[in-house]
Amino acid sequence: MLSFGDRSSLGRRDFLRVGGLGLGSLGLSQFARAGAALSDSGRPVTDKSVIFVFLHGGPSQFETFDPKPDAPVETRTVTGTIPTKLPGVNFGASFPELAKRADRLAIVRSYVPGDASHDIKPVVSKATSGGSLGAAYSNIAGGNHPTSGMPTNVLLFPRSVDPDSEPGLTKFGNFASTGPFGSATSPFDPAGGGSLQEDMRLHLPVDRLDDRRTLLAALDAAKLHIEDGTDAYRTKALSLLLNGAGDAFDLKKEDPAIVSRYDTASRVNLAKFDPKWTNYKHYIGNAKTLGKLLLLARRLVERGAGFVTVTTGFVWDMHSDKNNAGVAEGLSYAGPPLDHALSMLLDDLQERGLSEKVTVVVCGEIGRSPKINKNGGRDHWGNLGTLLLSGGGLKCGQVIGKSVANGGEPDGYTARIPNLVSSLMHNLFDVGRLRVQRGVSRDVLQLIEPEPIRGLHGS
């Protein structure tokens, strides 16, 4: 029997179970019959999804995936290098697990962020008309998956899995920006805008709240049909809605062995993190939560989320100033959690048969300067940055582009944010159908117009 408790005091769990659907979503029987494929809904989308791992602060290309061990001492990679599974390709020594999985990665060594400013431009920028990538996707895919009720656009901060973590850093940009794509495309944030315990209705427009109250009343009425067994397909649809979306956000529903497998806190000695840095709490929070965030992201895409943005704490800004550790120390804090969590995500997706359906993207907003500063840090740099992709049917096991000898800019082919955005949109949308679909906004169409990253698509 379906039960929602006291409807006069609806809480976060109630709304999670409703999944954010409107009144029309009660007519889900057709999708239950057809299966869970979102492409069956008639929208010009594929059945692929994206997990976008945003490394806030700007990782150094020199110490991650484009090391320069033979450069002059003022430029040379300071953490050492490690050979990868790809012949002749090395990574920074902080990433031994990813090095073993390099055949599943596309490493773009000629990616240019475009400027040296702290912001969130790979996620929200002029290239996306001021709305987030997830909002652009949701504009076409709809706000929720038609069978599971899963929000198609989800935003995960460290507080999404740990209520004691620092609040999501938003002073450099609004991750939830919808721009021209409409308020209905806003991401679902399970951290509740700052607290896991906040009632979700505080963050919903009044008209959307009213829809959910009506929906709950309709579901109460639908109980009679379910209990009588008079509409099996409607029963299945409601069951998917009520039992799928909410549980996906609860890591207690996951196999404890899998949760342990993703654990990142054990990959570093937290006692050695130096509390003198302003970003100390972000270092600790990232180490404790990154694995859980990527596990949660996998659970969500597995159940129908189309675009999941994971933003780390502000841990990659390695100036060696009063706020941030230098490169060597900073990598000892941020490198092992990323190496382990991302490797476990790649393995998990592969084991579950999801590698071809889920594209994983890893980048920050800027790169790091070729010259190491006097304190052992690297400063902001917009002419080259870090970019990794995996899965989703992309051509992996390769390095795309190259950098000049000092690692400061591309040597030849250049990939920029609009090219990255176009690559993701070509994976998420049936672009042929999208171009001729009536009612598709120009703001969406412009996302697919730039050339996708060369060599990443096709046979």
Answer for the pair 85, 101: CB distance below 8 angstroms, yes or no. yes
- Comparing CA positions, the residue from 82, 76, 71 lying closest to residue 60 is 76
Secondary structure class of 157 (helix, strand, coil): coil
Q: What is the pLDDT of residue 177?
A: 94
- Mean pLDDT is lowest, of 29-33, 156-160, 171-175, 338-342, for 29-33
**Residue 78 parent element (H or E):** none
Q: Which of the 8 DSSP states describes residue 168? A: P
Encode pLDDT of 336-363 as tens digits.
999 999 999 999 999 999 999 999 999 9
Q: What is the mean pLDDT of residues 286-297?
A: 97
Side-chain-side CA neighbours of residue 38 (13 Å)? 30
Phi, psi values for residue 420, rounded to 5°: -65, -45
247 confidence band (pLDDT: 50, 70, 90): confident
**Distance between first and last Cα of the chain:** 50
Q: CB neighbours of 26 closer than 8 A, spacing ≥ 6? A: 215, 218, 219, 222, 234, 238
Q: What is the mean pLDDT of residues 394-408?
A: 97
| Structure tokens given for 392 | 């989703």
Q: Which of the 8 DSSP states describes residue 147? A: T
- CA–CA dist 93, 107 (Å, integer): 16
Encode pLDDT of 229-241 as tens digits.
444 334 433 443 4
Q: Is the dihedral of CA 390, 393, 398, 401 positive or negative?
A: negative
Answer for the pair 190, 249: CB distance below 8 angstroms, yes or no. yes
Q: What is the pTM of this model?
A: 0.85
β-strands 307-311, 49-54 pairing = parallel
Q: What is the mean pLDDT of residues 70-77?
A: 96
CATH topology of domain 47-201+248-448: Alkaline Phosphatase, subunit A (3.40.720)
Encode pLDDT of 177-190 as tens digits.
999 999 889 998 88
Encode pLDDT of 126-153 as tens digits.
888 899 999 999 999 998 888 777 889 9
pLDDT at 49 over 90: yes
Percentage of the chain modeled with pLDDT above 90 = 69
| Structure tokens given for 327 | 């490169």
- Comparing CA positions, the residue from 380, 319, 404, 311 lying closest to residue 114 is 380
pLDDT at 122 over 70: yes
